[in-house]
Amino acid sequence: MPSSAIDNAFTAASATTAGSDPTYAGALSFMRRPFSKECTGSDCVVWGVPFDSAVSNRPGARFGPQAIRRASAIFDNDPQYPFARDLFAGMPTNDYGDCLFDYARPWETAERIEDEAAAILSSEAFLLTLGGDHFVTWPLLKAHAEKHGPLALVQFDAHQDTWPDDGERIDHGSFVARAVDEDVIDPTRSIQVGIRTHAPDDCGIAILYGDEVEEMSARAIADTVIERVGTRPAYLTFDIDCLDPAFAPGTGTPVAGGPSTAKMLAVLRRLGQLDLVGADVVEVAPAYDHADVTAIAGATVAMYMLGLRCERLAGAR
């Protein structure tokens, strides 16, 4: 029901209050969370990184954070399915806005992302990042590993992103190889889900290929992920091109033969026992989208990530 206030992103009294803006109006923060650069006291912080200078095919993911925020307005603060609760009633969450960097100096971008992410993480908040192309995950992994040690990477993707890397490339297709080489992630505890291409090296990371995912149940996929990760602190990255182009046409490097949104959400729903310390959704490129289906998928994936965090916090309290 509408209230006497609108633009909850600016007018919210706290980071736990629900908004009541119409889905078609109001300031578009992620799920109407209040905009704030103050993270102290927040359990979760949502942040955008509008960078796409590392793409190898179609650009446009710099507009991903805007599109995901816009699509998230569909979550009108009812109890969120399938978590059956107001995610924010006991989980103060704010939208931090976007990372600032100079588009004309892309070689500085990784450092800017890492430094700002580290500052947010110093508040002890869980950081959910909206990309941007998949290169942004590299500095995010570094910031999280600095805090938690080598991470288990749980990667939903059509691509391995393990192409040869010289340590200097600005490339969304080689950052995973760099993360392994620099001991930022532990490949023996990492897994990639939905892969439908081949890179020269798997870097020791377990892979569930697209045809395997097609034949497995969501529960079997989740169980495989959980067994691989174990108790290692995990970082969850979801490249929207993990989904078949029928469900996510708005992305830079679509690959046919992928899973449905419904199936991958069912997998995410079963990952609650993982020790997730950070997450991102990347590669939403709205210029290639149709009827916002990709942006809605991205926003829903992000909401599920917050839902898993909410349940984990509720269990710990």
* Alpha-carbon gap, residue 8 to 20, rounded angstroms: 7
5: its two tokens: 């206030």
> CB-based burial of residue 260 (10 Å sphere; 0-12 exposed, 13-18 middle, 19+ buried)?
middle
Q: Which amino acid makes up residue 306? A: L
- Ligand-binding site membership of 148 (annotated): no
Q: Give the three-class secondary structure for 42.
A: coil
Place of tokens 């992410």: 117
Reading phi first (left if > 0) and then psi (alpha if -120 to 50, else beta), residue 7 is in left
* Alpha-carbon gap, residue 224 to 257, rounded angstroms: 21
DSSP-derived secondary structure letter, 102: -
- Ligand-binding site membership of 95 (annotated): no
* Alpha-carbon gap, residue 166 to 55, rounded angstroms: 17
Place of tokens 């909206």: 130
Residue 82: asked if its preceding bond is cis (omega within 30°), the reply is yes
Q: What angle do CA 150, 45, 34 make, to 5 degrees?
A: 175
Beta bridge partners of 98: 48
Going through 85-174 in order, the beta strands assigned E by DSSP cover: 93-98, 126-131, 152-156
Looking at 125-174, list the stretches that DSSP marks H as alpha helix, in order from N- to C-terminal side: 137-148
DSSP for 65-76 reads HHHHHHHGGG--
- Ligand-binding site membership of 159 (annotated): yes
- Ligand-binding site membership of 161 (annotated): yes
* Alpha-carbon gap, residue 160 to 208, rounded angstroms: 11
Cβ(181)–Cβ(163) below 8 Å:
no
Known binding-site positions: 134, 157, 159, 161, 239, 241
Known binding-site positions for Mn(2+): 134, 157, 159, 161, 239, 241
